[in-house]
Structure formats: structure tokens, C-alpha cells
Amino acid sequence: MKQEARRLGFAAAGACPAVAPEGIDRFRRWLQAGYAGQMRWLPERAAAYDHPRHVLDGARSLLMLALNYRSTEPRPASTGQGRVSRYAWGPADYHDVIHERLRSLRQFHLALRPQAQVRGVVDTAPLLEREFARQSGLGWIGKNTLLLGKESGSWFFLAALLTDSELAYDEPFQADHCGTCRACLDACPTSAFPRPYVLDATRCISYLTIELREQVPRELRHGLGDWLFGCDVCQDVCPWNRHAPVTDDAAFQPLPASDPVDLGKLFELDDESFRARFRATPLWRARRRGLLRSAALILGNQGCASALPALARGLDDPEPLVRGACAWALGQLPVEAAAAAGRLLRERLERESDPEVRRELQAALQSSSDCPS
């Protein structure tokens, strides 16, 4: 099974018994602390995480799998551009890529055991993948809560093949090689780690740009910097990623338009053109309104007068979420654009009916009036 997994492109494979995960109590405490935010499927399915049998009835074993996605180093983002997390640079959604390979691995398993019950999953089933990956010997869970390997770093996806067959199990990974290092904790732009090994997702840039369906809290907007979709900061600074392997997998090679992304062009996309460009990629998860919201916040953070036309267009967008973010961004523009931004904000306020957008417009007008002349 491991040999076939590597033939299919998985970088590592390890097996463990299907038992209650060691970290289940930590997971429950994490939910109780409210760190899941709007990811309601986590508390709603909390009981299902207790045991892999809730993913596959009769499960006896898990084959945990890692697939590398590090390709090239990111190109720097200039004014008017936004950064995308490495895993989302390519032309395909990693779920589709991995599920195709899991189907092939499942067929291989069934050729060996025709009567077996087998299921492959990729981060959508109620399974604590990192706990089982550690149990399978693939690495340790680092202070940034990601699985780390001494040779592999953390630039990889995790997947699992569950079976009611008994496999030859690997030894759990016992060591923690983070030591006294605090690089990931100290580098986080939004202070999303209340303490080592704990992530407050509600402050994480990946959550804010992908999972959050509302406006980004005002106190966290500047922390987004130029991140449009996801964030790699805690991985970029991790010493174990300095020599992480590079993949030549075509599915994860960056599209020129995704590394980085031209923000102004996003405001020209209607629903149909947005679907055509992003439907098969991970960026689809943020939906058009979420991506344009983040694009507006980045333009506000960059504070460049050249963003005025794009933000003016977004201020008339059908989506209140986009209009509100553009209002905030217009209030952040420099003094040379303040007069034009103020005019746009006042004109929009006269015809705006959404109460949340009205509040953003009023706050932006105040910010604009506070700019030194």
C-alpha cells in the first residue's frame, strides 16, 4: 500500500490503528473556547471526531498520506497586487487532485482485499488528521499547530485512507523538535496564537480571508497586509521549511495570474466571469464577495491613490460586503486622494440602504476628514 501510494505521488505514508485520537480533549477545549468562529460544522459534528468509525463504519486502520505542494518561491507583490497562499497557486483544487489519487489507492486496496470497506478523505470528514498523522509516524504537531517533519517541513497536504482491514502499523512520532523556537508565534501579523500549540482561528488570516462570511473586524484589517487568500507567514518563518522538498507536480505549479493577483481586475469580474476564472481552484471557496472584500482591504492597507478607480467600482457592487470593505479602504487613502474619496463616500451614503454599509461609509468619511491637509 505504501509503495503504491508513493507511485501515485504521495510523498509519505504511515499506518496507525483506528482508535480515539489522543488530542480529542484538546479539540473539545478548543471548541469551547470559541476558536472555531463561523466554522460551525466543527462543533455541529464534534461527537463524530471521537472515533474514525464515524467516518467509516467498522474502521480498523488508517493509512495517513502526505502530498507535497511547495513549488517555487513566491514573487513579491507590488502595490495593487495581493498574495495567495502557496497551496492555492495552481490550476486545480487540491481536493480534486488528491481524491483522484485516493480512488486509485482504494482500487489497489480492493484488488488485495476485494471484500474490504475502504474510504479516502481529504480534510472535509470529521477526522483529526494531524493527530493520526503523528500516530502514524509522519511528524510532530508544531507550535503553529501544523504537522512538521524533519525532512518534509510543513508544505504538504494530509489525506487518509480508512479501511476495515488491519495494516502493519508504524511507530508514533514521539519527539517535538520545535524546542525553544518562537518564530511562528512572533511573526503572526494578527497574533492568532494565544499560546504555543493553540490557534485562535478567528484571528488567523487564512480564516479571515477564506472562512469568514462577514466583514473582517476593524482591529484586524491592517493585520491582513497584502494577503488576499490564505496566509503562509507561520510556515515561511519556520526553520524546518528551509530545506523542504520541492514538487514538480503540475497541479501545484503557480498560474502567472495567481502569484500574485492583480486586485483591480477582480472588481471587473461579475459572477459568471468569476466562476469561469476560479471555479476549479481553491480560491472559489471564498466566493466572489469574500475575495473582493479582501481585495478592498488590501488596497486600503496599501494606501495608494491609484486604487481609487477600483474602489469606486466596488463601492457600487451588488454585494453589501464588498461595498462596506471598499468604503473602509477609501477612508484609508492618502491625502492626495482624500477629496475624491470623500465625494464618492458621500454620494454612496445618500443612496445606501444597508445599515452595516452605512456605518462603514460614515466611519470612512470621518477617517477621510481626519487626514491632514
Residues known to be catalytic: 123
- Exposure b/e, 185-196, CB count within 10 A at least 16 = b: beebbbebbeee
Cis peptide bond prior to 260, omega within 30° of 0:
yes
Closest listed residue to residue 146, CA positions, set 159, 157, 135: 157
Instruction: State which amino acid sits at residue 350.
Output: E
Q: What stretches of the chain adopt beta strand conformation (E)? A: 12-17, 61-68, 81-84, 118-121, 140-141, 147-148, 156-163, 227-229, 261-262
CA distance linking residue 286 with residue 264, whole number of Å: 17
Cβ atoms of 315 and 326 closer than 8 Å = yes
Q: Which three cell numbers stand for residue 68?
A: 507535497
CA distance linking residue 157 with residue 98, whole number of Å: 9
